[in-house]
Chains A and B, each alone.
Chain A
């Protein structure tokens, strides 16, 4: 546990030691605002809720989360620091979790800084703050899922740009797993059971049910399992490819 927190703290500091963190947060907040007010029609809807805000989170994460995750391991391998890290008395799993938690905490900070929108909606109307809190929790878990995917892809590629693109594609498939774009691919030949399984993997379906204010344990467990599975895959990939 100590090793995990030491690594996570180092990583988190590293984000803020470079312009990356500030650039990311500014763009993240600016895009969120733009989507909510212009495309989501927050004012026009005249409803005291934040669905116009949360509806765009999956799409924002699709491009912004891979931008964080791409450097997680690709950078360690390119710089040779992975050799230093992996010869310290820590396990690969500890390193993987530590780095993931730092990235997740960073995304959490960026998400939390969107609080003015929450103040706005409370100023304008009388929203159900329980629903908003649930949606924030759901959004954070979804970001964790994207980050875990990105962590694994980053471990498999030394090149950050390649890691970014592949992560976006895989996240896109996970996002839309419950939609015709993905399901039609399986439709012709796969048994219904497989079809249902694929459909149930959709990030969006799980996120939407949480963002409506229903924190179903199954949705949380779903995201936790996605995170655990991809982090485990990350550790396996690192063991295989660390010295390449």
Chain B
């Protein structure tokens, strides 16, 4: 279990992190979201024991990060922001170094090395200097370093930053595969990632937690949740279609986009309006190209939550 209690970090008068508390249970994958500078990395650094909080404290698997740092760090695999590693070493040397420091001996060290090299597909670059590798490989070396001792707790700061879409997919698969029996915290500003790997999301803005929900609950906050978007073949009928939609029960308001030739109807109070709209379109023979039920837009939720906070 990870426990953070009233974590606060002050730099002079600036509250980089302001009274953040949360706990994460085994099996949970917690996504840390927030604009740049919101305090994601600072929070992770405090929980990982790299910097000391101004006040508050944290625990990893029952060990206090501040008072029993070595025990806490043994339970932890940590990928720092930017995935630093020693450029003059090869991945094989680097991973061997980390494994030794982590106290893995002979046979176990070799088995774990083989395991992470396989999982992260590092086999082809194992004996090249890290500084000559592409950004994607370097990130994977950083991930390999974090999981080499098979820790119960993983904290990964932007694990997919700099990866191409295929590599991102692979890293997400890796996280999903490990998720069952581990505690995983990842930070990201790639919103699609939250739905893809996280069971829970915390949004922080200006150093404070502004939302702590499942990704589904978060997306339900979107004004697009259960909205219906229609795309017509011709813009000519746009005004009358909009008028008809406005008259429908459960429709709060309608937004038309002439350029995209589309209309979005927003439900009042989360009502389900898609069947009514489909019926209406069928009866009136609207020149429909597409009818689409929106589940919600994460980026819009993110923006509305974080900007609201920044505005206060």
- Chain A residues within 8 Å of B, Cβ to Cβ: 2-3, 6-7, 10, 13-14, 17-18, 79-81, 83-84, 86-91, 242-243
Contact = CB atoms under 8 A, between A and B. Distances in A.
B96 to A, nearest CB: 9
A79 B73 contact: no
Interface string B96-130: 01101111000000000000000000000000000
Contacts, number: 66
Contact of B51 (A13, A84, A91, A242): A242
Looking at chain A's contact residues, the main secondary structure is helix
A133 B284 CA distance: 104
A6 B97 CA distance: 7
A6 B94 CA distance: 12
A91 B78 contact: no
B84 A243 contact: no
Query: How large, as a class, is the contact surface on chain B?
Result: 20 to 34
Contact of A88 (B81, B86, B98): B98
Given A84-B145, A87-B49, A6 B101 contact: yes
Given A14-B86, A86-B50, A243-B45, 4 more contacts: A79-B87, A81-B86, A84-B145, A87-B49
A18 B87 CA distance: 11
Nearest to A7: B101
Given A81-B86, A242-B51, A243-B50, A87 B80 contact: yes
A89 B51 CA distance: 14
B102 A88 contact: yes
B89 A17 contact: yes
Contacts of B205: none
Interface in B62-99: 69-71, 73-74, 76, 78, 80-82, 84-89, 93, 97-98
A88 B75 CA distance: 10
B80 A84 contact: yes
Given A13-B93, A81-B85, A87 B102 contact: no
